[in-house]
Amino acid sequence: MPCGGRHDGEVFAVVALPGGAFPGDARITDLADEKCYALQDQYAMDTWAMPADVDVYYLMPSRDSWRYGDRAITCLFGNTDEGAGLTGSLRGDPTTFDTDQVVFLSTANALDAALYEEPGRTPEEDLAAHRAWATQVHDVLGEQIEALRGHSWRAGARTPVADLVADLEDARTEWRKASTAGDADTYHAHYDKGYGAVDGPATVTARKALGLATTPPAAGQGGKEDSAAQV
């Protein structure tokens, strides 16, 4: 049905699975988690524009449907309220943005992806894992900064983006220090400062100058829910 009308979900990707024996519900669920959450940013690049009551869901092959050739994981956006639906399309891929917006969102999403990989155990439990992750964030920040500096921005966005780059440089310094922290307390101190310099006022100002959403997602928005369904 047309996206302009009320609908229960909006498909944004279909992942084809290889043939062979049924891999099991747990394995397919892991693949759906991995693939669907990775693909959502290609369809809806501006994560700040995603409504707070929308999350990622997926339809998966069951053991029975697998026997009849079902090899597709269907990734879709749906309302977190089972009684509510969607109206209008959530699509926001590169064809819907200008070049400046695509460059900005691509770098922001790369950083978000790195931040999402935070280890599950605490720094007190596994400082080595957190230090390794901080190194990854530091490296991605370097790539983001290089991309932002290397792009030729429209006149009204040059200063806001330059201010954002300065904040990201500060954040990168803190993540580098976190990556070499000798204890959990020192790690936490640099971790907090590093996070504080990301998605702050400079990010909002740069987004405003580029005509992008300016309200940061609420804490926990976009996290993985129990969103699997078999068909």
User: Which residues are within 8 A (CB) of 105 and not within 5 positions of it... i.e. 6 or more apart?
Assistant: 45, 46, 97, 212
- Residues 75, 56: contact at Cβ < 8 Å? yes
Provide the percentage of residues in the chain whose pLDDT is more than 90.
81
Report the range of poorest mean pLDDT among 78-87, 123-132, 175-184.
78-87
The pLDDT of residue 5: 83
Query: Which residue, among 227, 191, 177, 230, has the nearest Cα to 76 in the 3D structure?
Result: 227
Confidence check: pLDDT of 95 > 80: yes
pLDDT at position 178: 98
pTM, two decimal places: 0.85
Predicted confidence at residue 149, as pLDDT, reads 97
DSSP annotation of 83: T
Tokens read off for 133: 């992750």
CB 206 within 8 A of CB 46: no
**pLDDT of 10 over the 60 cut:** yes
Mean of per-residue pLDDT scores for the chain: 92
Q: Virtual CA dihedral for 51, 143, 208, 202, nearest 10 degrees?
A: 110
- Rounded average pLDDT over 89-97: 93
pLDDT, residue 38, reads 86
DSSP conformational letter for 78: E
Find the range with the poorest average confidence among 37-41, 61-65, 89-93, 226-230.
226-230
The predicted pLDDT at position 83 comes to 82
Q: Using one digit for the tens of pLDDT, what is the confidence trace for 20-40?
A: 999 999 999 999 999 998 899
Place of tokens 């964030």: 137
Q: Is the pLDDT of residue 226 over 50?
A: no
7 token code pair = 């609908």
Residue 230 has pLDDT above 60, yes or no: no
- What is the rounded end-to-end Cα distance, in angstroms, of the chain? 20
The confidence score (pLDDT) of residue 220 equals: 55
Whether the pLDDT of residue 231 is over 70: the answer is no
Query: What are 112-164's pLDDT values in tens digits?
Result: 999 989 999 999 999 999 999 999 999 999 999 999 999 999 999 999 999 99
In sequence order, the 6+-apart residues with CB closer than 8 A to the CB of 182 are none
CA–CA separation, 107 vs 204, rounded Å? 15
